[in-house]
Structures are given as C-alpha cells and as structure tokens.
Structure 1
Amino acid sequence: MRRFLADTTPLRNTDYRRLWTAGIVTVIGGQLSIVAVPQQVFDITGSSAYVGLTGAFALVPLIVFGLWGGALADAMDRRTLLMITSGGLGITAVLFWAQAAAGLDNVWVVLSLLALQQAFFAVNQPTRSAIIPRLIPATQLPAANSLNMTVMQFGAIAGPLLAGVMIPVVGLSTLYLLDSVALLATLWAAYRLPALRPTGESRRAGLREVFAGFAYLATQKVLLASFVVDIIAMVFGMPRALFPQIAHETFGDPSSGGLALGLLFAAMSVGAVLGGVFSGWLPRVRRQGLAVIVCIVLWGLAMVGFGVVVGLAAPGSSAVFLWAALAFLAFGGAVDMISAAFRSTMLQQVATDEMRGRLQGVFIVVVAGGPRIGDVAHGAAAYAAGTAVAAAGGGILVVVGVVIAAFAFPMLVRYRVQR
C-alpha cells in the first residue's frame, strides 16, 4: 500500500518542508479572499455582471506580470523575490481588510485591489515553482509537484468551506485579515531559504528577456506540446461556468445557490486531493509525456460522462444523478492533478535554470488563462445548445484535440525521464 500512497521523500529536505508546510496555511488563507472578493462585489452592486468583471481584472495582471515575473525570477535572487511578493500579497490583504472594515462600499476600489493582488501573485507563483528544482534532486520532482498540487487542491476545498461558515459569524472583512496573517507563514519560510542567485547571464528583466523566454520555448518542442495539450483540456473541457445553471435547473437548487452548487465546485478538488494522496506511483513513471496524453484523454472522457449524466437527469432529479455527476468531476480532478504534476516536472527537468523562471511564468499564464477562456466558450455553448451538450461536446473536443496534438507533437509521446 505504501507504494501507492504519496511519496513524502521531498519533505526530508528542511527548506522544501518549510515552504510546503507554510503553503498549507497560505493556500487556505488565499482561498478565503477568493471567496470574499466576489461576495463583496455582489454585496455592493447586487449584480452578477460586476462579479464577472473580477475575471477581467484578475486575468490581465496575471498575463502581464506572469510573463514579467518569470523574467524577474531568472534575473535576481529568487529568495529575495519570493519575500518581496509574499510581503506584497500580505499588504494587499491588509488593504482589502481596511476598505471592508471601513465600509467604503466602492466596487472599483475592490477591483483595483484585486488587480494589484493578482500582479503580486503572478510574480510569486513562477518564482516559487522555479525554486523547487534548486532545493531537491531531479528524481524527487514528480513527488514534490504532487505534494504541491495536493496542498493547493486541499486549500480549494477547506478555504471555501471555512469562508461559508465564517462570513455569517465574524463578517467578510475578517477573511481578508486572516489571509494577511496566513501569508506570514510563507514570508517566514522564504526568509529561512538559502540565497538562490541566478545561474545564467541574464541580469535584466525587460521585454527582450521575456521574448527570449518565448524564443527558447519554441526550441523545446516537448514543453511547447505540453502547453498546447493543457490549453486544449482547459478551454474545451472545463465546464465550471455551467455549474450554477446545472445546480438550479437540473438538481433543484434555489437560484441563489445551494448544496448542489457547492458540491459541483468542490468535486474536482476532492478528486485532485485523492489523486495526490495515492500518488506514490508517479516517480516510477518514465514515459511522462505519454502519461500526460492519457490523463487528458481521461479528463475529456470524464467531462463527456458528466454531460451525459446532466442530459439524462430530469429537473429536480434524484440524488443518484447528482452523485454520478460528482463522481465524473472527481475522477476528472484526479487525472488532471496527475497531468499537472507530470507537466510541471517536465518543465523543471527540461528547462535550464536560467530559463526556468520565464517558462514557469508562461505556465502560470496557461494554467490561469485557459479556464477563463473556457468559461466564455462553455457559457456561449450552453446558451446555444444547453448545458448537457456544452459539457459533453467539450469533452469530445478535448479527446479529439489531444489525439491530433499527439500526432502533431510525437516527441511528447516519446518523451522519457532521464534517470
């Protein structure tokens, strides 16, 4: 059984263990703000259109500063950059708390702070990811990435549940304050890291360095292919924009949301956590490229199954259909976690250290931007053909798209880990 449980070998490294343990606290705190921001926007405006604006205000700085942040991570000491961005996130959380506690009720202040927060986050994430290969051996990277993904998905479950319980008791502003306190854990872990100075010749982080990252990516066909298949999976196969309508029209939730809505949003994260817990076999997989292809095909098939269940379920149908839908989403979350762990490992192993930060920046843009585009695509498809067709059809497009990508990028299928 131990061979299948998560490999905790990377936790023997003191620096990695501090960073990972601090991440548990920080991720849960960050999820409190993720719930608080759209809720506050809706409280102020009473409009879902304004809530939708949070996506635009978050996506633009994610793209701009994700790319620039990767260049920064290659040009300066990564320990210092992680401390700066973690401190920036903490200060932004304090500003969120201050405006909420003062009762400003200004939606543009909230959206502006959100953009600032996402700018710090976009630099912080590629920096943190680029640090890991400097702390542990390459053979432990699959296990380390699996542990990181498990923490992120655990936070995606625990944070929203805690927020739902706490808002009526302590108020929305307290969630922001707790987020700022939680960030102290990562700041402390970063402070205890050794110096992580750049290993390459780059000492600038301008536009030329960003383009140099893209030029380098174009020469690394395996990494380019891994980004392409992830975009296919997230754009065509992420049906989360359909969850409110499905919860209300198919599973009988009130229009303002209810238990079914919460379960739909949590199901993928539950599956991802289970996938992480039973990820002990990941380090033994050598053909990681083929594993990514298989996982994304399984993700697409899971979304097809989800759409079929939604199509078969009558309005207000029994719990059997709901649990079947949740099972497909959970299975999708598990295989997506495995795919993400392999793709992160491939990036960290193939890219040189002097380019690793910039490629991690591209990775963050793909991971964050793909689902946002998927929201738009699924919303339009549901409007035209219904939620069941949108979900199942998207899953079919994922399978077809990934098979085409496998033929177009055979080097991804052939990729093997060098022991």
Structure 2
Amino acid sequence: MTAQDPPSEPSAPSVPEPGRRLRALLPDLSPWHASPDFRRMWLAGLVTVFGTFLTFIAVPLQLKELTGSALAVGAVGAVELVPLIVFGLYGGALADALDRRKLILWTEAGLGVLSVILLLNTLLPDPMIWPLYVVAALTSALSGLQRPAMQAIVPRIVAHDQLPAAIALNSMRWQIGAIVGPSLAGLIIAFAGLPWAYSLDIASYAISGLLLLRLAPSPAAREAEKPSLRGILEGGRYAWSRKELLGTYAIDMAAMLFAFPTAIFPFLADDLGAPWALGLMYAAGAVGSLVVSLTSGWVSRIHRHGRMVVYAALGWGAAMAVAGWMHNVWLVLLFLAVAGGCDMVSGLFRSAIWDQTIPDELRGRLAGIEMLSYSLGPQIGQVRAGGMASLTNARTSVWAGGVACVASVGLLALALPKLMAYDGRTDEHAVRLRARKAAEVAEAA
C-alpha cells in the first residue's frame, strides 16, 4: 500500500454457512421496518384475531350445549353464506370507492357491538339459540364489508417487492392468534365460562380500534366511481379474463369445501374420547401454519406460484384424510398441523399472485372476489362436514372430505394450465404492475 492509498476498511466478519442458511429461512421483516402503517395494522390485527378466535370456539360450543346437534352447529356456515356473498362483493366495490381506513374503522366498531350482543345473550338465565345465528349472519356481513378494504390497503402501504414478505407476516399474525386464542378459549370457557370469552373479544375490538385510528387516510382514486352493480361486474369480468386468478379461486374453494371440518371438532373430540383436546384441535392447524411462517424466508425465492398453490392444496387434503383415519388423538393433532402448514403455503402463493398482479383501481373489487373464494368454501364446508357427520360419524366426515379434496384438486390442476404455468418473474400483469409501482416511487422522489 502506498502513502496515497486510503487505509483499507476491515472486512465484515464472515457468517458461518449454517448461520446463513438459518437467516435465509427466517421471516423477512422489511415491511415491518419500512412502513409504520403496516406495523399498526399488524398489531391491531393480532389483537383482533386473538379475540375473534375466542368467539370462534365459544359459539359452536354454546350451540352444542344448547342443541346437542352436529347439524345445528354446521348450520352456522349456512346462515353466514348469503351475507358473505352479498356484502363481500359490495365491500370490494366500497373499498375502491371510499377511504379504506374509514371503512375498516366503522366495520371494526360494528363487529365489537355484535360481540356485546353475544355476551348479553349468554348472561340471560336461559340463553336463546336464535341470536347466535343472527349474530353469525351479521358478523359475516360486516366481515364481508371489511376484509376487501383490509386486503386492498396493503399494496398501498407496502413496497411492491416487499408484498410476499408482508403476506407472510400477516399470516404469522393470524396464526399466533389462532394458536393462543383457541388454546386459551378452552381453558377460559371451562374455568370461567362463556361470558369471559365474549368479554375478552369485546376488549380486543376496543384495543384494535385505537390502533387503527392512527392509520393514515387511504382515499379512493380520483377517477373512482360510486359503488354500483356495473362496477362489481367490471371486477368480475377482469377476474374471468385472468384464468390463473380463476384457478386460485377454484383450487381454494374445492379444498375448503371438502376438507374443512372445524364445525365438527367438538364431536370428533368426543369420538376420540378426548374432550380436553378440543382447543388443541382448533389450534393445531395454526401451529403448522406458524411453522411455515417462521421459516418463510424461502418464499421470495419461489416464482412458480401457481404450482405451489396446487401442491399445497393436495397436501392439505391428504393430511386431512390421514387425520380422519387416525384413532390416536396425538396423531390426529399432528396431521391437523401438517394440513395447516399446507394451507399456509397455498395462502402465501395465492396472495402473492393477487397482490403482485392486480391494479390498484380494481384491488378492492378483486379483494371482494378473493374473500369469497377463501371464505365461501369454509362456510359451505362446515355444512358439508356437519351434514355428513350426522349421517355417518365425525371421523368418516373428516377422512372422506380429505379424499374428495385430493381428487377435486387433481382434476382442477389438469384443467388449469395457465395456473400451473404462472411465473411471477415473467407474467405480463406482474411485470406491468412492477413497472407502475417503480414509476410512482420515482415520481414521489
């Protein structure tokens, strides 16, 4: 080194190969660090998910206690169906036409009021059955209005290349609540009673509302039209023109329709002689999903998203089939967890296709369609599971649904070549949206 050469900087310490591999698996936290609004939404969602799962366990358990009927429990899915369809589509149109932040806040407040009604009914000397169905229907309607706005706001507050990481982090948030909520719900209901479960749900909505109040406004685009049937149909025509999008909807609908047996978990626990395991059954899928989320660093390196959706849906059905065949409760829990991990993989790559290819002016309406695709299946699936369990038994309902899921997903994969061929690096819609986001960032700078 000559006198004119600057002193060399010390080289960064090398990271051992096992350390690099571990870091490559860990979740990508860049959306959390880069976006304050994403942090607020993440925390608000975590609190709400915890409370929601308390009620998710409490309502079917209360119906089981009041009626003793698997069909009555499964009928919750039936009463939620029409409101979800109508308000899910309308909620998507509202998300494109109104301030998404305001829509989220008002629906969050409404959901909190419905939890108050559940609490008041439970405190009656003789709780009534019909309010449980009415509140289930109204909750479905408000969720249909809220979810498209919640999903459509994410591409606005997160950079385009960080969307897969944001999806994984949001999924991890849901899984934490899904594990803690059901696990504690069983204990809370058993030792403190149903009123405490509903009370904690009310508190969760209050805390979430305070966090969401701090979100920045998210107004509609200047050229946005008022919500109308014509606007909803425009979103439907766009979805129909994109066969890979239709594929994601169809695969998830089939998987949930045939292999979503949560409504009969109270009966499955009794069939296995393990009523103490009810909360663990509800939480097992979320445990598997959380394992995938905590090791989701690999997601950004996968580009054939369509194939991953199909493979994961096949795994979901197969794991559910095996869970239904098992007689040991711990093996049932294991395969429910495996199913949950597969469902998480499917959800990550479905969301990546949606968020990285759909233009912002259609994002709300398409989010409404997407919400129907991943919500209608479970709702109808509860009816299927409850009806089949009433005709046969809980275990048969679970394994037969898993087999039907594998068969239907396999047939859909053969019929959907565009989904199987999708590549996020070269898809024309992804390339166009990536360029538009880059231009917006450059213009803002």
- Quickly name the TM-score band, shorter chain normalised: 0.7 to 0.9
Match of 1:290 among 307, 315, 318: 307
Which of the numbers 99, 110, 113 marks the counterpart of 1:77? 99
Superposition pairs of residues 89-238 of structure 1, within 5 angstroms: 89-101=111-123, 103=125, 105-199=127-221, 201-238=223-260
**Is 1:6–2:6 an aligned residue pair?**
no
Question: C-alpha displacement at 1:384, in angstroms?
Answer: 6.4
Matched residue of 1:198: which SS? coil
* Aligned counterpart for 1:33 among listed residues 51, 55, 75: 55
**Number of the residue aligned with 2:375:** 368
TM-score, normalised on structure 1? Answer: 0.87
* 2:341 is the counterpart of 1:334: yes
The residue number in structure 1 matching 2:332 is 325
Unaligned runs of 5+ in 1: 314-320
RMSD of aligned residue pairs (Cα, Å): 2.5
Change (3 A) 1:380 1:187: closer
Look up the equivalent residue of 2:319 and give its one-letter code: A
**1:160 Cα deviation from its structure 2 partner:** 2.2
Change in CA separation of 1:103 and 1:144 when aligned onto 2, cut-off 3 Å: farther
Q: Bigger shift: 54-63 or 98-107?
A: 98-107
Whole-angstrom distance in 2 between the partners of 1:213 and 1:197: 19
Calculate percent identity across the aligned residue pairs: 39
- Between the aligned partners of 1:39 and 1:390, the Cα distance in structure 2 is 19
Task: Tell me how far 1:261 sits from its aligned partner.
Answer: 3.7
Cα distance change, pair 52–356 in 1 and its aligned pair in 2 (3 A): same
Deviation, 1:79, is 0.9
Q: Quickly say closer, same or farther: Cα 1:335–1:86, change in 2 above 3 A.
A: same
Matched, 1:301 2:318: yes
Q: 1:268 aligns with which of 285, 291, 294?
A: 285
Displacement of 1:201 in angstroms is 3.1
Describe the SS at the equivalent of 2:24: coil
Deviates more, 1:6-15 or 1:89-98: 89-98
Distance 2:374 2:77 in 1: 14
Give distance in 1, aligned partners of 2:140 and 2:225: 25
* Counterpart residue type for residue 130 of structure 2: W
CA distance in 2, matches of 1:210, 1:53: 29
Calculate the TM-score normalised by the size of structure 2. 0.83
Gaps of 5+ in 2: 1-21, 426-433, 435-445
Q: Is the Cα contact below 8 Å between 1:42 and 1:51 reproduced in 2?
A: yes
User: CA 1:344/1:178 → structure 2, altered by over 3 Å: closer, same or farther?
Assistant: same
SS at match of 2:23: coil
CA drift at 1:265: 2.9
Q: Distance in 2 between matches of 1:39 and 1:380?
A: 17
Matched to 1:375, the amino acid is: Q
Aligned partners of 1:383, 1:322: CA distance in 2, in Å?
A: 21
Distance 1:176 1:265 in 2: 17
Letter in structure 2 aligned against 1:34: F
Question: Quick one: distance in 2 between partners of 1:149 and 1:405?
Answer: 25
Paired AA for residue 227 in structure 1: Y
Superposition deviation, residue 366 in structure 1: 2.0
Q: CA shift at 1:45, angstroms? A: 5.2
- Computing the radius of gyration from Cα coordinates, the structure with the larger value is 2
Contact 2:261/2:381, CA 8 A, preserved across alignment? yes
Q: Which residue of 2 aligns with 1:408?
A: 415
Give 3-state SS (helix, strand or coil) of 1:280's partner.
Answer: helix
Q: Does structure 1 retain, via aligned residues, the 8 Å contact 2:186–2:279?
A: no
Alignment: residue pair count: 404
